[in-house]
Chains A and B, each alone.
Chain A
Amino acid sequence: MDSAAVRVSSAIPTGLRGLAPFLIAIPILAALQLAVNEMPFLVYIASIVGVNIILAVSLNIVNGMTGQFSIGHAGFMAVGAYIAGKFSLQLRDVAISALPIALSDQILLVAALLIGGSCAALCGFIVGLPSLRLKGDYLAIVTLGFGEIIRVIVQNTEAFGRALGLSGIPQRASFFMVYFWVFLTIVVARRIAASTHGRSLWAIREDEVAAESMGVNTTGYKVRSFVISAFFAGVAGGLFAHFVPIINPGSFTFVKSIELVVMVVAGGLGSTTGSILAAIVLTLLPEAMRSAFIALSGGQASLAQKVDQIRMPIYGILLVLLMLLRPQGLFGNREIWDVLPRWFARRRKGT
């Protein structure tokens, strides 16, 4: 039996396999943090990109890998943002006395993120358990409803600042913190995808009846993927709340959810690297267009401001073009390292 062919070999001792990526990533992120320290605008843009990457990669676990259609991701983000934001607001003047201020701030931030993420995960569980028992498009309707409910609740609750939103949340989310969570999300998504559990999620996406007949508890798996996805959406929301000056219900509308779905679909359903790339491009695109318009119009800001309004039609056109030219998304259900070598090979053959 040729089991050597399927054996996964690695130079890293098994005890360290779980930690190794972090041991490499943390010093790199710390170095980057030092490099970008003096560039607040770059850090701000990079943080927005990072939050969108977390959201797209986590949404991809449900929409891509498991094949369920959730369109309420902004709702989970809102839960995380408001809970974490409220937590930090309440504890704004509190510090852990034994530690330096900066460190104590970061620890409180992590606590806030974990609380926000957990609340979002709990919402995911409550929403998912009844609706994921159903098959087909019901989940889309339920998640759509959930997103709107959260927004309306926030809009009408005094504690969350109603339509004005929350301001004055301490801005503790550093470049390092955002990208540490980006990294964590990606590692989790990749490990899920590679494990046999993840294969079961794919199996549900491919054929739910067959998966069920092969002993996969489809409801259980779907709920778990949904909860993990909601957790990271909550964390992304929490991070968002800690670097933007103000959060209000307008940041978590249905449009935001659709934006995330577009990222996942454009990157290829099931492709983590595709989601990352699509999140980067689709976040930077409006910024780039804004700069381009400012340059073109000779510094007339009014035209540049319109970019935000024409963003959605442009998304729509992009999506239509994508579906016509490459219906499976950028990378299909593969990853960049599966796809790129093949493209190059084809090009070489072509010339």
Chain B
Amino acid sequence: MKEVLLKVDDVSINFGGLKALSHFNLEIRQGDLKGLIGPNGAGKTTAFNVLTGVYAPSAGNVLVCGQRVNGWMPHEINHLGLARTFQNIRLFRALSALDNVRVACRAASAHVDNRRLIQLRKQGLLGSAAAGLLEAGTNYLDWWRALLLTPGFLRNEQEIRDRAGELLGVMGLSPRATEEARHLPYGEQRRLEIARALGTRPRVLLLDEPAAGMNTREKADLMTLIGELRDQFSLGILLIEHDMKLVMGICEEITVLDHGETIAVGSPEQVRENRKVIEAYLGDSYLEAHAAVGSGGAQ
């Protein structure tokens, strides 16, 4: 069994009296491709926001690569190996496609030794103070190198450019490298978001409705691509998606949320048969329609 990269242990989050998410459990290992579905307002994106540190959980634990990250800043969690895309595309609109990925690559390369920092942080107050100083020191040194244009810095920059270019190539965006992100067509913006997330060298990738707004053909292509990315970058992937057919097609395990509660977990077949899921998500009309088709076929 492969190492658990992301473990969500009984996480709840409340906004005032509203329970946005309660007793949410999840485990992602390398090579997993899991789905998270549910009707609008079920808490899917809230779940992503808790995992990536935008919100701190009210109860329960989030563990990334074995490290408890409750209350960590999003960039720290990202350095541990968790990257995401956004439901409503959040690219750096005025930057070129290449620069969008460069920003993510920098953040990752500047913290090559972030594992050492994290280990230091674990050793109490003194350790975290030392880690803070070390981090600030290396950062300032880095800025001076940028201002003096040292050969080492130029080499670094070239590496980052090359890597960003490579990732654009993987997502089929090479011809768009110098174009501003806001001028890209919608589907390419979605793919650029994935390229950017990959720039941070993640081990777990969270995709928030990556196929939203695409046509059937584009969706199918994207799903194939997601499967390939998982293998090429040895990722674990968690996917939020509205299109049932797609999720059923590629995910190995699906978690269904409704009103913040987990109402079903299991393989696509199990979930499809689940009475609660059909009621909450697919609706009675789906059931009736299928019953009608079934009876129609029997005649």
Interface residues of A (CB under 8 A from B): 1-3, 5-8, 14-15, 17-18, 188, 191-192, 195-200, 202-203, 205-207, 209-218, 220, 224, 333
Residue in A6, A192, A195, A199 whose CB lies within 8 Å of B95: A199
A137 to B104, CA, bound (A): 26
With A6-B98, A8-B157 given, name 5 new contacts (CB 8 A): A2-B174, A213-B83, A214-B107, A217-B107, A218-B75
Looking at chain A's contact residues, the main secondary structure is: helix
A-B complex: 10 closest residue pairs judged by Cβ atoms: A215-B107, A18-B149, A206-B92, A196-B106, A215-B78, A210-B90, A195-B146, A14-B151, A214-B104, A212-B74
Contact (Cβ within 8 A) A18 B143: no
Known contacts: A14-B151, A17-B149. The answer to whether A215 contacts B177 by CB under 8 A is no
Known contacts: A18-B149, A209-B90, A212-B75. The answer to whether A1 contacts B160 by CB under 8 A is no
Contact (Cβ within 8 A) A207 B161: no
- Could you say which residues of chain B place their CB within 8 Å of the CB of A333? 94
Interface residues of B (CB under 8 A from A): 52, 54, 73-75, 78-79, 83-84, 86, 90-95, 98-100, 102-108, 111, 136, 139-140, 142-143, 146-151, 153-155, 157-158, 160-162, 164-166, 169, 174, 177-178, 196-197, 199-200
Contact (Cβ within 8 A) B94 A202: yes
Number of A-B contacts (CB under 8 A): 135
Known contacts: A199-B99, A333-B94. The answer to whether A3 contacts B154 by CB under 8 A is no
Residue of A nearest to B99 (CB): A199
Contact (Cβ within 8 A) B151 A3: no
Looking at chain B's contact residues, the main secondary structure is: helix
Contact (Cβ within 8 A) A5 B102: no
- Could you say which residues of chain B place their CB within 8 Å of the CB of A15? 151
- Could you say which residues of chain B place their CB within 8 Å of the CB of A205? 94
A341 to chain B, nearest CB (A): 15
Contact (Cβ within 8 A) A197 B75: no
A214 to B73, CA, bound (A): 11
Contact (Cβ within 8 A) B106 A224: no
B139 to chain A, nearest CB (A): 6
Best-surrounded residue of A15, A17, A196 (most CB of chain B within 10 A) = A196
Known contacts: A214-B104, A216-B103. The answer to whether A224 contacts B139 by CB under 8 A is yes
B135 to chain A, nearest CB (A): 8
- Could you say which residues of chain A place their CB within 8 Å of the CB of B84? 213
Contact (Cβ within 8 A) B146 A6: no
- Could you say which residues of chain B place their CB within 8 Å of the CB of A191? 146-147, 149
Known contacts: A1-B166, A196-B106. The answer to whether A213 contacts B150 by CB under 8 A is no
A212 to B103, CA, bound (A): 11
Known contacts: A15-B151, A207-B91. The answer to whether A196 contacts B160 by CB under 8 A is yes
Contact (Cβ within 8 A) B106 A197: yes
Residue of B nearest to A4 (CB): B165
- Could you say which residues of chain A place their CB within 8 Å of the CB of B83? 213-215
Contact (Cβ within 8 A) A14 B52: no
- Could you say which residues of chain B place their CB within 8 Å of the CB of A14? 151, 154-155
Contact (Cβ within 8 A) B78 A18: no
A210 to chain B, nearest CB (A): 4
Contact (Cβ within 8 A) B154 A215: no
A351 to chain B, nearest CB (A): 27
A8 to B159, CA, bound (A): 11
Known contacts: A196-B106, A197-B142, A214-B199. The answer to whether A188 contacts B174 by CB under 8 A is no
Contact (Cβ within 8 A) A212 B106: no
Residue in B139, B153, B165 whose CB lies within 8 Å of A1: B165
- Could you say which residues of chain A place their CB within 8 Å of the CB of B166? 1, 3
Contact (Cβ within 8 A) B92 A203: yes
B212 to chain A, nearest CB (A): 17
Known contacts: A3-B162, A17-B154, A196-B157. The answer to whether A212 contacts B95 by CB under 8 A is no
Residue of A nearest to B166 (CB): A1
Residue of A nearest to B114 (CB): A215
Contact (Cβ within 8 A) B146 A197: yes
Contact (Cβ within 8 A) A214 B200: yes
- Could you say which residues of chain A place their CB within 8 Å of the CB of B111? 215
Residue of B nearest to A333 (CB): B94
A192 to B157, CA, bound (A): 12
A205 to chain B, nearest CB (A): 8
A254 to B272, CA, bound (A): 65
- Could you say which residues of chain B place their CB within 8 Å of the CB of A206? 91-95
Contact (Cβ within 8 A) A5 B177: yes
B14 to chain A, nearest CB (A): 21
Contact (Cβ within 8 A) A214 B78: yes
- Could you say which residues of chain A place their CB within 8 Å of the CB of B154? 14, 17
Contact (Cβ within 8 A) A6 B143: no
- Could you say which residues of chain B place their CB within 8 Å of the CB of A17? 149, 151, 154
B84 to chain A, nearest CB (A): 6
Contact (Cβ within 8 A) A215 B151: no
